Chains A and B, each alone.
Chain A
């Protein structure tokens, strides 16, 4: 059975590595190194190449979980990692200055990939900063003529991340 490939993307610190670690059936392969720029104030380490984890569904289907680096300077890795991908999970950190703009940047940069697949959006840290709300995200997507599922999640919580994957699988089955 061919392995399905899902890609996690989003701004640095949104919880991509954490989300993959929460659901992967083995300790994820990570390429985290010390942050040496302004990001160091937010987190000590950052992903510079990719994260890789795996999960097996009840029917034996294996899903490869690939996390991208968040920073735009690593866009070459985004382009490499989406090759052969089946679905995209965008995680957005609600604590950031303009999470809606962040979301737009990732949707734009992955636009080509999104055309051929589906997207689900997870909003992290919404318990620490309530705005923008899920409705705001939906309105933002609507203004862009896009319709994607948006959920508030805790990237550390396995059930939350699995719920995102379930939703993405369902969207893919329907489309």
Chain B
């Protein structure tokens, strides 16, 4: 009996030492468990609502959009704009490599400008973006977003959007209005950059919203794109900024090819 008790005590102590020594690992595991719980909760909620899980929580751009305030001025769109692939249907990198490049390394912005000039002007203008990237680039960006979310357990949203407020790619673990978030963060980032200029400071690196139960961090990827990270307080700010910056750099690298 004494032997059994001693053995149990020894195991308990060993466990404490192990968690002391491998505290970080323990934290990471805790974070992972919390993340899994979050996912499980969402799955459950999705099932209750008749959805089929995360797949439907991701990239539902059309459902996230506001209803138009009034009818938009209808007009023909005589140019052939590139249809942006849905994240859910993005090919793997291996598959994407076999696709013909849409405009290769050329900037679509300059390639189709001429054709756009005959476009009928509507109030909101054509939502189809003229920034132009290959499917391979988009797939790699999507992979970067997912890696970012894996590295930062508290992050439940990562969005790449244009600096004028259109979402391009995003991964969300919660049902968030990606379109609104993209638009509002574009305003916020632009304001942040203006305030930095007016304060005679250079290079606004991050715009950070510190809230009671989470953070929203926005930063530029390049001249046309920005990254928005939405996290709980599970991850510390330094880690979020560091991984966010690294991800933005990798995205910039991918998109500059």
How far is it, in angstroms, between the C-alpha of A33 and the C-alpha of B163 when the chains are bound? 6
In this complex, the member of A40, A71, A105 whose beta carbon has the largest number of chain B beta carbons within 10 angstroms is: A40
Residues on the A chain within 8 Å of B184, using CB: 76
Map CB proximity to B onto A24-52 as digits: 1 under 8 Å, 0 otherwise: 00000111111111111110001011100
How far is it, in angstroms, between the C-alpha of A101 and the C-alpha of B66 when the chains are bound? 20
With contacts A37-B128, A49-B188 known, is A74 near B163, CB below 8 A?
no
In this complex, the member of B75, B116, B117, B223 whose beta carbon has the largest number of chain A beta carbons within 10 angstroms is: B116
Could you tell me how many residues of chain B have their Cβ less than 8 Å away from some Cβ of chain A? 43
Residues on the A chain within 8 Å of B75, using CB: 97
A96 touches B121 (CB 8 A): yes
A38 touches B119 (CB 8 A): yes
Residues on the A chain within 8 Å of B191, using CB: 31, 49-50
* Residue in A closest to B193 when the chains form the complex, CB atoms: A31
Residues on the A chain within 8 Å of B68, using CB: 72
Residues on the B chain within 8 Å of A102, using CB: 73, 123
B124 touches which of A34, A50, A73, A98 (Cβ 8 Å): A73
A75 touches B69 (CB 8 A): yes
With contacts A36-B166, A37-B166, A98-B73 known, is A31 near B190, CB below 8 A?
yes
A72 touches which of B69, B163, B193 (Cβ 8 Å): B69
Residues on the B chain within 8 Å of A13, using CB: 121
Map CB proximity to A onto B119-144 as digits: 1 under 8 Å, 0 otherwise: 11111111111110000000000000
Residues on the B chain within 8 Å of A32, using CB: 190
A34 touches B164 (CB 8 A): yes
How far is it, in angstroms, between the C-alpha of A97 and the C-alpha of B125 when the chains are bound? 12
Residues on the B chain within 8 Å of A101, using CB: 73
A74 touches B183 (CB 8 A): yes
Which A residues from 10 to 34 make CB contacts under 8 A with B?
A: 11-13, 29-34
Q: Does B16 contact A (CB under 8 A)?
A: no
Residues on the B chain within 8 Å of A77, using CB: 187
How far is it, in angstroms, between the C-alpha of A119 and the C-alpha of B162 when the chains are bound? 33
Residues on the B chain within 8 Å of A39, using CB: 125, 164
Which B residues from 153 to 203 make CB contacts under 8 A with A?
A: 162-166, 179-180, 183-184, 186-188, 190-191, 193-194, 198
Q: Does A142 contact B (CB under 8 A)?
A: no
Q: Does B24 contact A (CB under 8 A)?
A: no
Q: Does A170 contact B (CB under 8 A)?
A: no
Q: Does B113 contact A (CB under 8 A)?
A: yes
Smallest Cβ distance from B247 to chain A, in angstroms?
Answer: 20
Closest 6 CB pairs of A and B: A38-B126, A41-B116, A31-B190, A38-B125, A49-B187, A33-B163
A: residues with CB less than 8 A from B are: 11-13, 29-42, 46, 48-50, 69, 71-77, 95-98, 101-102, 104-105, 108-109
Beyond the given A13-B121, A76-B184, A101-B73, please list 20 additional residue pairs across the A-B interface where CB-CB is below 8 A. Answer: A30-B194, A31-B187, A31-B190, A31-B191, A31-B193, A33-B186, A36-B129, A36-B131, A36-B166, A37-B130, A37-B164, A41-B113, A72-B69, A73-B66, A73-B124, A74-B187, A76-B187, A96-B73, A97-B73, A102-B123
* A-B contact list, 29 entries, CB within 8 Å: A29-B194, A31-B194, A33-B164, A33-B190, A35-B164, A36-B109, A36-B130, A36-B162, A36-B164, A37-B126, A37-B128, A38-B119, A38-B125, A38-B126, A38-B130, A40-B109, A41-B113, A42-B121, A48-B190, A49-B191, A73-B183, A74-B187, A76-B180, A95-B121, A97-B120, A102-B73, A105-B69, A105-B70, A108-B70
